Amino acid sequence: MNSNNPYNPTLVALDTPDLGHALKLAKSLADKVGGMKLGMEFFNANGPQGVKQIVDLGMPVFIDLKLSDIPNTVAAGIRALLPLEPFMLNIHILGGRQMMQAAVAAINEAETLGYTRPMLIGVTIVTSMEDADMQELGMNRTASEQVIHLAKLAQDCGLDGVVCSSHEIADIKAACGAEFKTIVPGIRPKGVAAHDQKRVMTPAEAINQGADYLVIGRAITQAEKPETMANDIWQSVRYADL
Ligand code: C5P
């Protein structure tokens, strides 16, 4: 990225079960963010029809369902999401090589079905987990080592990038190359509460580390003036010293 970059990297997490509230937020933020992220809270409450209403506003939509199951079921789950025309979907890397390859094959069917191929992103280790959680699960690497290991495996299986913490971006880019995308939650502008996120960075810091997309929820959606906050974030990354 450089300061002439025309794309806005912020994907705002519309974490609400309330379709009306999500639509209102999405409309008011449309020209201040790069896209919308819809996760399980929104999806479980509003289903594909709710997603379609957000997609129909014309913004790129990342459907964040973190799919994980046997290969055939994940591939079928992805095929069922393609008509919603998301620009990004994700799966758990811990579902393994065969599941990831089946997911890639399903996503590659998009163009023959008349849709733009969404990016397929892998979830490494969720950022709420620490080294002690890894040990308890019988995984002997530290969380950071495991994240790099999983990112390389995901790339080998044909995924387009990973969700990771801002502190892992540089190592992932070093291991997988600059083109391999990093989608980064845990972002807080200066002065905004960290909530339950453990290790946070500002938007500009994460972009300087090489983040391709910033997933930002409460810092925007619970701000007194969400539009102003989203605009301030956009200006801060647009003019970051990259
Ligand atoms: O409100 P906040 O900015 O913390 O929201 C972050 C969003 O990113 C939430 O939708 C959460 O589900 C998602 N996320 C995360 N950490 C991960 C993966 C996804 O916070 N490792």
pLDDT-above-70 percentage for the chain = 96
- Indicate which atom in ligand 1 lies nearest the CA of residue 165: 21
Catalytic residue among 66, 152, 190, 198: 66
Residue 240 or residue 69, greater confidence = 69
Residue 199 beta carbon below 6 angstroms from any ligand 1 atom: no
Residue 216 beta carbon below 6 angstroms from any ligand 1 atom: yes
Residue 98 lies inside a defined structural domain of this protein = yes
Residue 199 near residue 187, CB atoms below 8 Å = no
Has 190 been annotated as catalytic?
no
- C-alpha 226 – ligand 1 centre gap (Å): 17
- C-alpha 215 – ligand 1 centre gap (Å): 7
Residue 1 lies inside a defined structural domain of this protein = no
Residue 93 lies inside a defined structural domain of this protein = yes
pLDDT-above-90 percentage for the chain = 83
CA distance 168 to 152: 13
Residue 141 lies inside a defined structural domain of this protein = yes
Residue 233 beta carbon below 6 angstroms from any ligand 1 atom: no
What does the pLDDT read at residue 241? 56
- C-alpha 113 – ligand 1 centre gap (Å): 31
| Position 194 confidence tier, pLDDT thresholds 50, 70, 90 | confident
| Position 240 confidence tier, pLDDT thresholds 50, 70, 90 | low
**Closest C-alpha to ligand 1, atom 18:** 126
Distance of CA 151 to the CA centre of its chain: 14
Residue 240 near residue 207, CB atoms below 8 Å = yes
**pLDDT above 50: residue 61:** yes
Residue 15 beta carbon below 6 angstroms from any ligand 1 atom: yes
Parent domain of 156: 10-238
What does the pLDDT read at residue 2? 40
Query: Which value, to the nearest 10 degrees, does the dihedral of the CA atoms of residues 27, 42, 59, 103 take?
Result: 180
Judging by beta carbons within 10 Å of its beta carbon (0-12, 13-18, 19+), is residue 146 exposed, middle or buried? Answer: buried
Residue 29 lies inside a defined structural domain of this protein = yes
Query: What's the number of CA atoms in the CB half-sphere (13 Å) around residue 224?
Result: 1
Residue 3 lies inside a defined structural domain of this protein = no
Element at 91 (helix H, strand E): strand 88-92
Could you give the 3-state DSSP secondary structure of residue 217?
coil
- C-alpha 112 – ligand 1 centre gap (Å): 32
CA distance 141 to 166: 19
Element at 65 (helix H, strand E): strand 61-67
| Position 1 confidence tier, pLDDT thresholds 50, 70, 90 | very low
Total domain count for the chain?
1
Residue 141 beta carbon below 6 angstroms from any ligand 1 atom: no
Residue 4 lies inside a defined structural domain of this protein = no
Q: What would the pLDDT profile of 90-130 be if each residue is shown by its tens digit? A: 999 999 999 999 999 999 999 999 999 999 999 998 877 88
Residue 160 lies inside a defined structural domain of this protein = yes
CATH of the domain at 138: 3.20.20.70
List the Cα angle 153/96/148 in 5-degree steps: 30
CA distance 61 to 37: 6
Q: Closest Cα to residue 242, out of 4, 11, 7?
A: 4
Q: What would the pLDDT profile of 211-231 be if each residue is shown by its tens digit? A: 999 999 999 999 999 999 999
Ramachandran region, residue 212 (left: φ > 0; alpha: ψ -120 to 50; beta: rest): alpha
Residue 148 beta carbon below 6 angstroms from any ligand 1 atom: no
C-alpha distances (whole Å) from 33 to each of 76, 86, 212, 230 are 31, 16, 14, 7
